[in-house]
Amino acid sequence: MDFEKGEVLLFDKPLKWTSFDLVRKVRGLIRIKKVGHAGTLDPLATGLMIICTGKMTKQIDTFQAQIKEYTGTFKLGATTPCYDMEQPEDATFPTEHISEQMIREMVNQFTGVISQLPPPHSAVKIDGKRAYELARKGKEVKMKSREVTIEAFEITGINMPEVSFRIVCSKGTYIRSIAHDFGKVLGSGAYLTSLCRTRIGEFRLENAMQLADFSALVSTQSTKSE
């Protein structure tokens, strides 16, 4: 591999790592500065991340613009301030009125071009500061709605209060917001309990490396070049 000339590396991001944690680790292993990722994953999400090195960092915007596929679960009957499990539940709601048929029918409201509000605890910038920085300080965060495209939304399992799903969506879609809004339309609440990115364009998670495998690969390459 020629990291200076440019490589496109596929990784399975570990749980609780930030996207920058992974970039920083890769940068340290290959010992060059020009390393970047093509699309953030929240710390509590796992799955596919594209890391570009050297001259291939010029392709980051192209990769970021491609459609994404996710699988995961959300819990009905409660909400959290961040719309996922990073913070404890702040409210509970009834779920007795929710049937499996209702859940499957509501998917149609979240397919196609939809308007959504990013979570208050997100990396969206407000007056030059990240929204999550303001939210964590207890300041009111007013998010602006944005249009995103949901190409596919499939309910893959229901085991109340947990619902499993698969979503194919455009750049900029917040799956946490879909979970939150899904709870609302059901007359209840919901938040994301797990998330895995399985595809970015034609790049797939099954072709991604674990960090330990990449570390061994770099070590072997360094030994051969000495």
Question: Is 42 among the catalytic positions?
Answer: yes
Crossing angle of helices 19-30 and 211-225, in 10° steps, is: 10
Residue 115 in this model has a pLDDT that exceeds 70: yes
Residue 161: is the preceding peptide bond cis (ω within 30°)? yes
Considering the entire predicted model, what is its pTM? 0.89
- Domains defined along the chain, listed by start: 8-65+202-225 (3.30.2350.10), 68-200 (3.30.2350.10)
Q: Under 8 Å CB-to-CB from 33, ≥6 apart: which residues?
A: 27
Alpha-carbon gap, residue 208 to 197, rounded angstroms: 11
Q: Under 8 Å CB-to-CB from 15, ≥6 apart: which residues?
A: 43, 44, 45, 46
In angstroms, the Cα distances linking 216 to 1, 56, 182, 201 are 13, 22, 43, 27
- Set 2, 21, 42, 84: catalytic member: 42
* Residues 116-168: tens digit of each pLDDT: 988 876 666 655 666 556 556 566 667 678 899 999 999 999 999 999 999 99
